[in-house]
Amino acid sequence: MLKVFLADIAPKNLSKEILQDRMNELENLVDTFWWLVIVTKLQRKEQPDFKTYVWKWKLEEIIQEMISVWANLLIVWNVLKPSQIFEINEQLRIASEQAWLKEPITARDRIDLILKIFEKHAQSTEARLQIELAAIKHMGPRIYGMGMELSRQWWSSWSWWWATRWIWETNTERMKRHLKEKQNKIKDKLKEFEKMRELHRQSRIKKWLPIIWIVGYTNAGKSSLLNALTKKWVLAENKLFATLWTNVWKLFLFTDPEKWIWKEVLLNDTIWFIRDLPPKLIDAFSSTLEDSIESDFLLHIIDASDPFIQERINVVDEILDDIGAKQHRVLVFNKIDLIDESRLKELKETYKHEDSIFISIVEEIGLEELKDKITSLI
């Protein structure tokens, strides 16, 4: 089992509650792999260090503490530049050698971790291609470090590297070209899936089938909602990004129970959202997210027990706005069984001007009201 050291470099104006939430979220991401978090570290700085993001004295402190507790992996909450992650790993490598460690300590940032989780849960060929494209967009620039690594392997001294610096640049350019070609091939393959997706869209339009897109912040209960509404089995775990792939599920709603008149509705689920996702990462899943634009309306599922509800709503709304999803949104507050009556009353008052509904999937509270809401909107 990997022993993980977590670090977060945050501006001074962030509240303690937000900082703790950021770290808790990072711990939950790590927990997806059953890795063990042994230490967390915070540094408050308005400006990160240009070379290593983490300021030098803090990085030295982290390295020494990691060696003392036998930590294997450093994960930084922040998105690091290629040169920064390379420099941190260089210092970790040197310290590992000096401490006679069998395996060198390595470092990754939060986006690396999210991509690894995406890869773990990818089920379809399209999802795997999208993840590979996202990884190239995020990791591609780090060939700077790969080029340096090749240079060090070939020439052990600085003088030799300086004398042959054009060879290093040639290898860097070669890697750039290889990644570019690979990226273009993946995009071509994804275009085939986009054509199939468009054919499915046109088929649904011809059949006049209402389409509902389910969105939400990660771990709010989307898979559990799909299970409750469709009676289909969808993986539902208390882990971040437990499901990644997208599917279309059928829901049959009675519009006139007495006459047994029913309406077929399509529920479309998608990837979960999380704070501070880089635009290039979202762009890699653009073909999947485009389905939201074609839907009749959106069900935005929210964890009612989350202390940062409005922040989570804002994250999802910003991403939806960026991809052009302007449809009507119904706020579905889940997990009301985990809050008391006063908190429930407060939420209802706060969001009384929104189209909202309050449910508990576990306790089967409000599900029929939700179905009635969907029926009224179609």
Indicate if 209-377 has the same CATH topology as 3-121. Answer: yes
Please tell me the total number of residues recorded for the chain in this structure: 378
Please tell me whether the overall predicted TM-score, pTM, comes out greater than 0.85 for this model. Answer: no
CA distance 8 to 123: 31
| pLDDT of 205 | 65
Structure tokens, 325? 């999803």
CB atoms within 10 A of CB 168: 18
Contact indicator for 357, 330 with CB cutoff of 8 Å:
yes
Query: Could you write out the DSSP letters of every residue in 147-179?
Result: HHHHHHHH--SHHHHHHTHHHHHHHHHHHHHHH
| pLDDT of 260 | 55
| pLDDT of 137 | 76
Nearest-5° Cα angle at 112, 106 to 115 = 140
| pLDDT of 147 | 46
| DSSP type of residue 113 | H
- Residue-wise pLDDT tens digits, 53-98: 888 888 999 999 999 989 989 999 988 887 888 899 999 999 999 9
CA 25, 241, 357, 205 torsion: positive or negative? positive
| pLDDT of 142 | 60
| pLDDT of 239 | 45
| pLDDT of 338 | 95
Indicate the domain borders of the chain.
Answer: 3-121, 125-186, 209-377
Q: How far is CA 101 from CA 6, 72, 97, in A?
A: 20, 10, 6
CA distance 334 to 369: 13
Query: Could you write out the DSSP letters of every residue in 305-370?
Result: T-TTHHHHHHHHHHHHHHTT--SEEEEEEE-GGGS-HHHHHHHHHHTTTS-EEE-BTTTTBSHHHH
| pLDDT of 341 | 94
| pLDDT of 349 | 95
The segments of the chain whose pLDDT lies below 70 read 140-172, 201, 204-207, 232-248, 254-262, 270-272, 279-280, 284-293
CATH superfamily of 209-377: P-loop containing nucleotide triphosphate hydrolases (3.40.50.300)
Tell me the fold of 3-121: Rossmann fold (3.40.50)
| pLDDT of 261 | 58
